[in-house]
Structure 1
Amino acid sequence: MRRVVSLYLPTWPTDRIRRRLGDPPRDKPLVTVGMNGARRIVVSACRAAQDLGLQAGMPLAQAQALIPNLHVVEATPDDDAAALRELARWAIRYSPVVSPDDPSGIWIDIAGVAHLFGSEEALLADLIGRLKKTGIAARAAVADAPGAAWAVVRYGKAGVVPPGRMVDAVATLTVEALRLPPETLSAMHRLGIDRVGQLAAMPLAPMVRRFGKEAALRLDQALGHAFEPLNPLIPEEAAVSSVAFADPIGRLEDLKQVVRHLAERLCADLTKRGEGVRRLDLIFRRVDSKGASLRVGTAKASRDHGHLAKLFDERLETIDPGFGIEEVVLIASRTEPLYEYQTEARGIDEEPAAPDMSQLVDRLTARVGSGRVYRLAPVQSIVPERMTAKVPPLSPATGVAWPKSLLRPSRLIDPPEPVTVTALLPDHPPAAFIWRHVRHRVAKADGPERITSEWWLGDQPKAIRDYYRVETDKGARFWMFRDAPAADGGHWWLHGLFA
């Protein structure tokens, strides 16, 4: 299913100027101006200027009369468009299908890649957060069609439109959300048509006679009834391998063979450049102008074309060929230097090299997602749930290790689960406990081991835990703790299971 992000940059020209010049401060009004006939008018205004009543199209003389200390910069639409294209190149980190939407937006087709960020909501949050840190105001919405996402982010509530719910999201918006010329919008308002739903309720023939074919097309695009293609932006410096077919293909076996052929050609090109792949994008173009894309990454730079092609094998089944695929493009969207090196020499005894786990990591990542492939590294902390951290699977060792004498369970339950404990005396180990509605009788117990929170946390209240290792009459071993002394009303928790 197609899912498209519309990224809206409401103050792009002024944000770009501030990032380039570092002036004026964001609380000072800033506008760009240009010529409209013999008059100088406001072309764009920053948020501070808009809050003071300035808007695009206003005569500059009027704007300066309202705000005497107004900062004025000449508008440069060509520079704005070039910078927007560069920003679109940066957005390829989120998807291989990215296209500028002049003058203040970017399209990003995230079908098949949203899971790499956890969810569509997480992807949007990451995108907006990164732009905000660089001083760029942005909003974003995702929907099944570009027109719906464009309408929602500018005239509705930005965010995620659930699949198949475009009509509900767009129908209540004003007709300005349909990307129509001002004269067409004026004609609609004269007839009392202010909402998209009102226009959608009109019969097609009268609508076309009154407002033209463009109105019907834009309405269908916003509601997802007409396909709107996106032209992906391919970086000029990227290594690209592509093939077009006189007769469209669609069989899974044919797609796998094409990907292997493209990977072999791409790796040959990368060998000449002394580079290896870290991220690969595969783009399919169908005969009906619809497209699809897949993205995979590698744990370290690679030019093994057989391995790279296999990373796509399982996910090729998700591609809908429709009436046939007429072009396939393989892009090395992220590369790193990779040079040949001597792996062995005859007659020279060397220590055996560590096994290369990168291909295994790549296959697992392609199958389950990058966020689910990691290893646990020791952390210098005495609080059990903070003694490990998730790190990339091939990251080098830090030299930090746990003390060998530290007895810890093989499985940690996070967060700890409450248990009901029976003890012979208040400060004694448990004699029996109930966990998950099952009663366990304790045969042996060892403890307590008192653990407190780190002293370097400053004035924060320090938690006190008394841990016990207990063994039941059936041989099961558990790790339990009381979160405060018995006199202070401490509660019991189960925190781990021993093998």
Structure 2
Amino acid sequence: MSTLLPKEGPRKSGQRILSLWFPYLCAERILRQRLGRSWRSRPSHPLPPSYPPLVISHRDSNAQRIAALDERAEALKLKRGMGIADARAMHPSIDVVEADPEADRRLLEGLADWCDRYTPLVAIDGEDGLFLDVTGCTHLFGGERAMQDEILTRFFQQGFDVRAGLASTPGAAWAAARFHGDRIVAGGEEAALLSPLPLSALRIAPETRASLESVGLRTAGAVMAAPRAPLARRFGATLLLRLDQALGRLDEAVSPRLPVAPLSV
């Protein structure tokens, strides 16, 4: 099968993908409403201790659970999926706000539209990320580092904590953003980037990750070093698909969206 032994086909000439990750997007939507868009860049930031940590809740079956949280709640060791009752028992002062997925989606779409100033090829990545195909665009902004720094700075000034990764494949850029925070990966260095990272860097399902860990494969590098055919038989072809996409052996399409209503950033 071609998924087991992919040919080292030619990479898209010069392709460069920027991944942006907003780890606190749900909380930032609320904090920007309460404190203003530039709250992060004010001299008073970080917020004083009297301002309660923010937790976003949603109903899961018959229980209210943490769907998202801000940095201060995360620093208290609260985690997504934890019951709200347990979180309140640990930290009674937390501020709990009901989730609004539609408002969060509108915000992310607005951020995507704002990024059109850098490239018209912008795609939504899940609930908290964006992909920008910046192939051939970076020189207009002083190069890759200058452009990435400008984007990070402008989002910070408007109240967003954003992490960025730039690479020749969406998978490598995604991993760089989430596990390094501000990383530019040269073409051909995808394997070196991924090798020491945990399995979640491969964007595989949690159950696949747990199965791999149960047999001692705990890093992307361990998966890369393992025989491919047994991996596919035991863990499914999607594992190798994700690995090959991240390494540039197989193409991964980034489908740009149509602009809706630009966010004033």
| Alignment partner, residue 160 of structure 1 | 184
| Alignment partner, residue 23 of structure 2 | 10
Structure 2 residue runs without a partner (length 5+): 1-13, 40-45
User: Distance between the aligned counterparts of 1:236 and 1:222, measured in 2?
Assistant: 30
* Structure 1 residue identity aligned to 2:70: C
| Alignment partner, residue 185 of structure 1 | 209
User: Distance between the aligned counterparts of 1:26 and 1:100, measured in 2?
Assistant: 30
User: Distance between the aligned counterparts of 2:249 and 2:92, measured in 1?
Assistant: 50
Deviation at 1:158, TM superposition (A): 2.6
User: Distance between the aligned counterparts of 1:237 and 1:43, measured in 2?
Assistant: 26
User: Distance between the aligned counterparts of 2:71 and 2:261, measured in 1?
Assistant: 36
The structure 2 residue matched to 1:115, chosen from 139, 145, 156, is 139
Aligned positions of 1:66-465 closer than 5 A = 66-156=90-180, 158-235=182-259
Which structure has more strand as a fraction of its residues?
1
Deviation at 1:17, TM superposition (A): 1.2
Deviation at 1:83, TM superposition (A): 1.2
Q: Aligned pair in 2 of structure 1 residues 131, 157: CA closer, same or farther (>3 Å)?
A: closer
| Alignment partner, residue 7 of structure 2 | none
Deviation at 1:237, TM superposition (A): 8.1
Structure 1 residue runs without a partner (length 5+): 239-499
Query: Is residue 156–residue 173 contact of structure 1 (8 Å, CA) maintained in 2?
Result: no
Deviation at 1:236, TM superposition (A): 5.1
TM-score with structure 1 length normalisation?
Answer: 0.46
* Structure 2 residue identity aligned to 1:166: E
Aligned positions of 1:3-42 closer than 5 A = 3-22=16-35, 26-27=47-48, 28-42=52-66
Deviation at 1:26, TM superposition (A): 4.0
Query: Is residue 68–residue 80 contact of structure 2 (8 Å, CA) maintained in 1?
Result: yes
Q: Secondary structure at the match of 1:108?
A: strand
Query: Is residue 32–residue 75 contact of structure 1 (8 Å, CA) maintained in 2?
Result: yes
User: Distance between the aligned counterparts of 1:213 and 1:29, measured in 2?
Assistant: 42
Query: Is residue 208–residue 215 contact of structure 1 (8 Å, CA) maintained in 2?
Result: yes
* Structure 1 residue identity aligned to 2:32: R
User: Distance between the aligned counterparts of 2:72 and 2:220, measured in 1?
Assistant: 31
Deviation at 1:124, TM superposition (A): 0.7
Query: Is residue 164–residue 181 contact of structure 2 (8 Å, CA) maintained in 1?
Result: no
Q: Secondary structure at the match of 2:64?
A: strand
Query: Is residue 81–residue 102 contact of structure 1 (8 Å, CA) maintained in 2?
Result: no
| Alignment partner, residue 434 of structure 1 | none
Give the number of equivalent residue pairs. Answer: 238
User: Distance between the aligned counterparts of 1:83 and 1:26, measured in 2?
Assistant: 23
User: Distance between the aligned counterparts of 1:237 and 1:180, measured in 2?
Assistant: 32
TM-score with structure 2 length normalisation?
Answer: 0.86
Deviation at 1:122, TM superposition (A): 0.5
Q: Please, what is the CA RMSD of the aligned residues?
A: 1.8
Q: Secondary structure at the match of 1:214?
A: helix
Query: Is residue 110–residue 261 contact of structure 2 (8 Å, CA) maintained in 1?
Result: no
User: Distance between the aligned counterparts of 2:228 and 2:114, measured in 1?
Assistant: 41
Q: Aligned pair in 2 of structure 1 residues 70, 157: CA closer, same or farther (>3 Å)?
A: closer
User: Distance between the aligned counterparts of 2:220 and 2:181, measured in 1?
Assistant: 15
User: Distance between the aligned counterparts of 1:31 and 1:5, measured in 2?
Assistant: 29
Provide the identity percentage.
Answer: 36
User: Distance between the aligned counterparts of 1:155 and 1:2, measured in 2?
Assistant: 21
- Relative contact order (C-alpha < 8 Å, sep 6+): which is higher? 2
Query: Is residue 163–residue 181 contact of structure 2 (8 Å, CA) maintained in 1?
Result: no
Q: Aligned pair in 2 of structure 1 residues 58, 236: CA closer, same or farther (>3 Å)?
A: closer
User: Distance between the aligned counterparts of 2:167 and 2:144, measured in 1?
Assistant: 10
